[in-house]
Structure 1
Amino acid sequence: MQPTNRTTRTRRLAHAVGVLAMAAAVAVTAAPAQAAPAWGPIAQVDLGVDGTRANNRSVSLGISGNGRYALFGSSATNLVPDGASLLFGLYVRDLRTGRTELVSRADDGTALTSTGETAGISGDGRYIVFSAEANGVFNVYLRDRVTGHTRAVTNGTASGEGEGEHGSFDPAISADGRRIVFTSARPDVVPGAPVAPNTRNVYVTDRVTGATRLVSRGADGQAADGASENPTISGDGRTVGFSSHATNLLPATDAGTAGLLRPRYTTVYATNLNNGTTVVAGLAADGTPGSADPHFRLSPDGRYAAYGLSATPLPGGKSRTELFVHDLRTDRVLSIRTSDNPDAICWGDASAAISADDRWIYFSGGCSDTIIRAGQARHDLYRQELRTGRTELLSTAPDGGEQDGAALEPFVADDGRTVLFGDNSSDLLPGGEGFDWHVYVRSLAKR
């Protein structure tokens, strides 16, 4: 299996849909949503150059800081004139002009046919980072939308059997476009760096200095003794987050380290690039490390980590995830729920987004006593004010009623007024068709 995020993302979408059905047994009469400000209509984003709706599933991947440019990936073949042969393409849509462009292109403009599903967009929308396969190996690339050029960030070459496991993947980029993080199992990314054979690690490249450094390393300077992947980076480029199976990323004397000594344990970490310190980002409410969903996000200033922890299962023993926010400055841990009822069973997706002013968190989830339709539990899109807990529902049908599907993977503009997300509902727009995944945007109405 090629180590892109395609399979992982597909599994997460399928898991979310499964939770919707499995949680139905705990649903009760709906509670009314709190009054919300005047949000504008929902608009579809995965549209072709002529406005044609995507003919296959799409996923949300990011939004520029000013809310103008939306990054998404799609298996559609009808979005650009030369897209008929694409298995998966990466696109940017200008939400102001309606222009859609394919950004997963080689430097000569050729559409790339084997592209990873993880990508990132800079704050001004100029730079796109992504991974793609060429000559049997995946590398990370940077696309400059202004100049139209694509250049390699990593330069690994195929060297033998199983090379797919030794490429570079899953890139993300800081808001200013300077720092790029990625995962690689290649032993030669940083010559002389302490890495274990055939083990994935997280790296960061500084485009200004040209230097690449290993982020996932043991506290004693030795190689990490487990795989680290799923990197994310704060907008200011100072903090890198990642998931890891390693047991030696923290000093052995740190409180709670004993809980990380099981090889199968996965949790999430945050590393301050300025001073090199690494801390556990995925803490439970009692301050101990939790079994974390490997995908999580950092706030633009790197202060907060939003992540999901395994929780008491739903009826029938099915798994669920609860959403938390960890203040990395104060160590305060906040549970993100749509209900004040301590007896309510709640769930949330780990891919939550926090606005640049640290005021709002946008997330997908629900609780057994706050769902919109009695007898049906699912992932709806909300935003919650972190200071007060005030919660607003964002994914609704055109008449303001409940959607008939699920919303996932939100991304928010810096001011918190525009949100991009994926959804498989059939009734978000008039004339909606089927229950496939598409990408949408919603903004606060202008006053």
Structure 2
Amino acid sequence: MSKVRLVPLGVVLGAALSLTTVLAPVPSGAAPVPQPDPATARVSVSSGRAQANERSSSSSSSRTGRFVSFASRASNLVADDTNGVDDVFVRDRTTATTSRVSVSSTGVQGNAYSTGPATSGTGRYVAFISAASNLVPGDTNGVVDVFVRDRVASTTVRVSVPDGGGQGNDASTVPSISQDGRYVVFSSFASNLVPGDTNRFADLFVRDLRRGTTSRVSVPATGGQGNGPSGFSSSTISGDGRWVVFESTASNLVPGDTNDAPDVFLRDLRRAVTSRVSVSSTGAQGQGVSSDPAISADGRYAAFSSWSPSLVPGDTNGVEDVFVRDLATGVTRRVSVTAGGVQGDSSSYQPAISGDGRRVAFVSGASNLVPGDTNGTEDVFLVRWRAGTTTRLSVSAEGAQADSFSNDPSIDHRGRYVSFTSNATNLVPGDTNDMLDVFVAAADGAGGRPPSR
């Protein structure tokens, strides 16, 4: 899926990764032959498999997990990287090649940082934010914008632009992209992207790249505009571009919002309806902060994290948990639990949900979700909530637990591969750069051949 937990505006993260898989030599002109992957592999590496010489982070997977985009400050992942700032890269796990996408249509590197990638289903399109002013002509607003790179056509366009043309008059961030790359959702402080934007808050917008239109998402079903900021930390668009989940502190998006806390909302772009997601199975509103929204490809399931103890019965741990809401049946369940249903003994957050909604990757500092968790730090877990199983993914191919924290997961459509950032040095052999790295774990634990599409 294209969803990724994106860094706040102005924060530049990074992670350095080295893929341990080596592809067999391929005759010139022949199709690459996928080779077996280990259960855990490093992907923020150069095409020559050199580990990054600076930090890497913020990964996002394509539908099959073949393509993983990420941000890195490293200068040795591609040739001629001399700008000294974070760039956005894509790793093709099948051909074992790495390319830079935060460049102009003529291939010129950005003159300021780029980060926060979101990958389309095929991996052809990558949305990202950048402070660079030279990625497209006429970028003179001096703020962070949202861009999309077409990796096939080798073109870069700016998407955080007004409906009638021109450029935004304030910063934009946190993109999410539909499976076909047509729709891009993003948050913006700009007041000129749509007519009548007078609330002076960050709002959520969607850009239709086919029609060249921009519309506001974070609005009440009855019309008007939100009375609080929206989409400032993360948002996700469904595979077909119809549904958007987002975080907002606005109290007027739905009736009866009186909890005075950030909530997670769902916007049906086709029907122009806004509803609240962070509620119990009876429809009762939460009593704490809810955030980190993610949505399945078909728009049926939404995942989010919440501090509220009232969303499910028996929530007595007093920490942040991860929940999944079935938007068709209205059932909300807690998924950051052990295989036996025991609640975590520390916070869980940053969910990423598979295309069918059955698998959810998340970050947790809990030590009781799986046996033998004694590293005392945050790990990445995968729950198959229908099957009632919870596994830890941020481990080495041999099953050794990470010697430092892991976070920021992204999951492919089938839930087979999960990419994440880690500060650990023992997940793959030869990790000696002492930097944040980006890894991919096989959710079933056995590795296998990289995706061929």
* Structure 1 position 4, deviation (Å): 6.9
* Structure 1 position 47, deviation (Å): 0.5
Match of 1:5 in 2: 8
CA offsets 1:362-421 (integer angstroms, 9 cap, x no match): 222253434555654332222221212112222222432222122212222222222211
* Structure 1 position 198, deviation (Å): 2.6
Match of 1:74 in 2: 72
Match of 2:439 in 1: 440
Number of positions where the alignment pairs a residue of Structure 1 with one of Structure 2: 399
Match of 1:413 in 2: 412
Specify the SS of the correspondent of 2:258: helix
Q: Which amino acid aligns with 1:5?
A: P
Match of 2:136 in 1: none
Are 1:288 and 2:285 an aligned pair? Answer: yes
Distance of 1:120 and 1:421 partners within structure 2: 14
Distance of 1:294 and 1:417 partners within structure 2: 25
Match of 2:218 in 1: 216
Q: 1:7 to 1:373 in 2, by over 3 A?
A: farther
Match of 1:333 in 2: 332
Query: Contact 2:199–2:225 (CA<8 Å) still a contact in 1?
Result: no
Specify the SS of the correspondent of 1:205: strand
Q: Which moved more, 1:433-442 or 1:197-206?
A: 433-442
CA offsets 1:149-183 (integer angstroms, 9 cap, x no match): 11222347789xxx6xx122222110011111111
* Structure 1 position 358, deviation (Å): 2.5
Return the TM-score normalized by structure 2. Answer: 0.80
Q: Which amino acid aligns with 1:114?
A: A
- Give runs of aligned pairs for residues 139-288 of structure 1, distance below 5 A: 139-155=145-161, 166-190=170-194, 192=195, 194-229=196-231, 230-251=234-255, 254=256, 257-259=257-259, 262=260, 265-284=261-280, 287-288=284-285
Match of 1:322 in 2: 321
Query: Contact 2:91–2:99 (CA<8 Å) still a contact in 1?
Result: yes
Query: Contact 2:375–2:403 (CA<8 Å) still a contact in 1?
Result: no
Identity %: 30
Q: 1:88 to 1:356 in 2, by over 3 A?
A: same
Q: 1:213 to 1:301 in 2, by over 3 A?
A: same
Name structure 2 gaps, 5 residues minimum.
1-5, 16-35, 134-139, 310-316
CA offsets 1:331-375 (integer angstroms, 9 cap, x no match): 21111134246575242122x222222222222225343455565
Return the TM-score normalized by structure 1. Answer: 0.81
- Give runs of aligned pairs for residues 392-407 of structure 1, distance below 5 A: 392-407=391-406
Q: Which moved more, 1:220-229 or 1:111-120?
A: 111-120
Query: Contact 1:268–1:282 (CA<8 Å) still a contact in 2?
Result: yes
Query: Contact 1:195–1:224 (CA<8 Å) still a contact in 2?
Result: no
Match of 1:33 in 2: none
Root-mean-square deviation (CA), in Å? 2.9
Q: 1:400 to 1:4 in 2, by over 3 A?
A: closer
Match of 2:302 in 1: 305
Match of 1:348 in 2: 348
Q: 1:150 to 1:10 in 2, by over 3 A?
A: closer
Distance of 2:108 and 2:371 partners within structure 1: 46
Between Structure 1 and Structure 2, which shows a larger proportion of helix residues? 1
